[in-house]
Amino acid sequence: MKYFSYITLLYFAISHNLMAQSVEIDDSSVIQSYLIQIDDNTLLKGKIIELNADSIFLKLELLGNISISRKSNFIVEIMGGSTFRGELLEISNDSLLFDMTGLTNVWIKNTDVVKLTVLEWQDIGTEGYSIANQHKTRYLFSPSGYSLGEGNGYYQNIYGVINAVNYGVSENISIGFGADFLSLLNEGTPSIFITPKIGKQYNDNTYLGGGLLIGSLGIFDQSNPFIVLGYGVVTRGTENRNLTLAIGHSYGNKSLTSHVITLNAYSRISNKYGFVSENWLMKETAILAYGLRKFDKRISTDFGIAFISLKMSDTFDDSYRVAFPLPYLGWVINW
pLDDT at residue 143 in the model: 94
From CA 153, how far away is CA 172, in angstroms rounded? 13
Assign 210 to helix, strand or coil: strand
pLDDT at residue 139 in the model: 95
Q: Where are the domains positioned within the chain? A: 4-123, 153-334
Determine phi and psi for 234, rounding to 5 degrees.
-130, 130
Topology at the third CATH level for domain 4-123: SH3 type barrels. (2.30.30)
For 228, residues 6+ apart whose C-beta sits below 8 A from its C-beta are 212, 213, 214, 250, 251, 252
Q: Between vectors from CA 206 to CA 271 and to CA 297, what angle results, nearest 5°?
A: 25
For the chain, the residue count is 335
Paired sense of beta strands 273-281 and 285-295, if any: antiparallel
| Neighbour-count burial of 269, counting CB atoms closer than 10 A to its CB (0-12 exposed, 13-18 middle, 19+ buried) | exposed
Average pLDDT per run of 10 along the chain, which is 335 residues long? 48 44 38 75 83 85 82 86 86 86 79 86 60 85 91 90 92 92 72 92 91 80 77 93 95 80 94 92 91 86 93 59 89 87
Assign 99 to helix, strand or coil: strand
pLDDT at residue 229 in the model: 92
> What amino acid occupies position 299?
I
From CA 6, how far away is CA 305, in angstroms rounded? 46
pLDDT at residue 59 in the model: 87
CATH architecture designation of domain 153-334: Beta Barrel (2.40)
Determine phi and psi for 220, rounding to 5 degrees.
-100, -40
